[in-house]
Amino acid sequence: MKIVYHDIFRHVYDYDPAAAAGRMEAIADELKELYEFVEPRPAEEDDLLLVHQKSHVDWVRTHYRHIYDIASLAAGGAIKAAELAVQGEPAFALIRPPGHHASPGSSWGFCWFNNVAVAVQKLRKNGIVDRVLIVDTDLHFGDGTDNIFKDVPEVFYYHLYSIDGLEKTLNYCRDRELVAVSAGFDSHKNDWGYLLTTEDFKKIGRMIAGHARNFCGGRFFTVLEGGYNHQVLGKNVRALLEGYDLG
């Protein structure tokens, strides 16, 4: 497992909870002694245009240039993680801003560009994979990801509502070539959602990795979405990755 990360992601680029000081550090400090860290490169405009309208990309670049730069690097981090995954090296993109609320022509919910969608679509465009399962563990439904792929039957988007539901979805999607995970941690019992335990994230990781190794040639990657309680965020990310190691 490699961690795709850049110190630029520590910068406080906005006033929302995803950009808060200390958020990246809470995760990086938990993982730095356990995994190899690698740096991404920014996504190219052509990468962003795989899933976004040019008017949206231009709007972000024109009106929020400082955010455009870090959001492009975040999308590039997701691409790097996806490229590692298809080379046989599962990867976690420790990036921000998050992305799953970014649709083709709009964005909200602390998101600007849809990181996981950009990465998936680049692999598909290059003919590396075609059929993909996207699992979203965030508290909030990834409307942007759903909007991007709603008319693409080869890409199945699943928003986690229960661990039993995840098991059924994994059984249903045994024909996929890759699993992409939009990893949100705000559903934790000490975060906004008051739903999942740290041990639940380990179980989720074990299930996803086991599925990927049994049916997808071991190809899966993960990108960070939500999660805002810095006291538990790093531990929850670590639990998910430990689950991957066990899967």
Q: Are 121 and 136 in contact (CB under 8 A)?
A: no
Q: Are 244 and 209 in contact (CB under 8 A)?
A: yes
Angle at which helix 163-172 crosses helix 198-215, to 10 degrees, equals 10
Give, for 125, the enclosing helix (H) or strand (E): helix 115-125
Write down the residue that tokens 């870090």 correspond to: 70
Please, which residues have CB within 8 angstroms of residue 203's CB and are 6 or more apart in sequence? 163, 243
DSSP string, 146-182: HHHHTT-TTEEEEE-S-HHHHHHHHHHTTT-SEEEEE
Long-range CB pairs of 33-37, under 8 A, 24+ apart, other chains included: 34/238, 34/241, 35/1, 35/2, 35/3, 35/92, 35/241, 36/2, 36/3, 37/2, 37/3, 37/4, 37/5
Give, for 85, the enclosing helix (H) or strand (E): helix 65-86
Q: Is 66 a catalytic residue?
A: no
Catalytic pick among 56, 101, 140, 211:
101
Cα 58 from chain centre: 23
Q: Which residues are catalytic?
A: 101
